């Protein structure tokens, strides 16, 4: 399963759950930053709650999701999900972890969303944001040397693109950047039409995305940023 599939998970609407390597790695990264001290998490744009299900039931696991069908599945899984825009929700307490995977690019009012985030994260807590980035070698190569359109240019689905400096600046008053890396998101695969080679290539790219030092360079277009809330 590539990152795009993981982020748009459970399209068939099933309540059954199986852990994915992608989300498991995200949990591991977050736990490393937190030192394992997690009592609550809020996943903004949680879909059916697959990511939240990777955390222990002893943790307060909550999400924000606009899709009614996805909320119903998450509810059946025992997760608390708010069906509303996060800007309009009055949360009881801040969370140790707040995650926003592939959210900002879809918003009509992204600055309002960013301004809400500090109130959601507890002091010393972690904020995770994943966005498509135009500041990458892949986008530049496609635009300058091919006739292929970069797939992240896709209005009205994608409405915003952010530079890393702009994102950091918007959050700098309340957060400190502690980690950043770039991945292919499973979208770079010249072997798609060859079944066996497709599977092998996907596994290799997954390892490169996660463990190779090249993920510290903006070669591909999925940018992951991890911030810690200042006390």
Percentage of residues of the chain with pLDDT beyond 70:
90
What is the Cα–Cα distance from 187 to 65, expressed in whole angstroms? 25
Q: Are 41 and 53 in contact (CB under 8 A)?
A: no
pLDDT, mean of residues 11-34: 86
Over residues 173-178, the mean pLDDT reads: 98
Residue 208: predicted pLDDT: 80
pLDDT confidence tier of residue 8, bands split at 50, 70 and 90 = very low
For range 122-137, the mean pLDDT: 97
Sign of CA dihedral 104, 110, 114, 116: negative
What are the pLDDT digits (tens) for 54-97? Answer: 999 999 999 999 999 999 999 999 999 999 999 999 999 999 99
The CATH fold assigned to 3-229 is Rossmann fold (3.40.50)
Q: Are 99 and 42 in contact (CB under 8 A)?
A: yes
Q: Which helix (H) or strand (E) holds 176?
A: strand 175-183
Report d(CA 213, CA 175) in Å as an integer. 25
Instruction: Please report, for the chain, the start and end positions of each structural domain, with discontinuous segments joined by +.
Output: 3-229
CA angle 102, 83, 12 (to 5 degrees): 65
Interval 11-35 mean pLDDT: 86
């Amino acid at each position: 399963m590539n990152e795009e599939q993981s982020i748009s998970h459970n399209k068939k609407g099933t309540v059954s759950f199986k852990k994915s390597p992608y989300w498991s790695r995200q949990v591991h990264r977050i736990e490393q930053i937190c030192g394992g001290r997690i009592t609550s998490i809020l996943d903004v744009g949680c879909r059916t709650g697959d990511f939240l299900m990777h955390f222990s039931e002893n943790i307060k696991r909550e999400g924000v999701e606009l899709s009614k069908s996805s909320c119903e599945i998450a509810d059946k899984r025992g997760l608390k999900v708010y069906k509303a825009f996060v800007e309009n929700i009055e949360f009881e307490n801040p969370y140790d972890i707040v995650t926003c995977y592939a959210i900002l690019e879809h918003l009509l009012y992204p600055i309002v969303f960013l301004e809400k985030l500090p109130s959601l994260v507890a002091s010393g807590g972690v904020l995770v944001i994943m966005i498509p980035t135009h500041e990458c070698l892949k986008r530049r190569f496609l635009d300058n040397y091919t006739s292929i359109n970069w797939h992240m240019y896709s209005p009205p689905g994608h409405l915003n693109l952010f530079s890393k400096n702009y994102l950091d600046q918007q959050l700098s008053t309340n957060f400190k950047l502690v980690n950043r890396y770039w991945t292919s998101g499973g979208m770079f695969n010249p072997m798609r039409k060859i079944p066996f080679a497709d599977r092998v290539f996907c596994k290799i790219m997954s390892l490169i995305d996660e463990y190779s030092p090249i993920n510290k360079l903006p070669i591909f277009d999925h940018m992951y940023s991890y911030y810690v809330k200042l006390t």
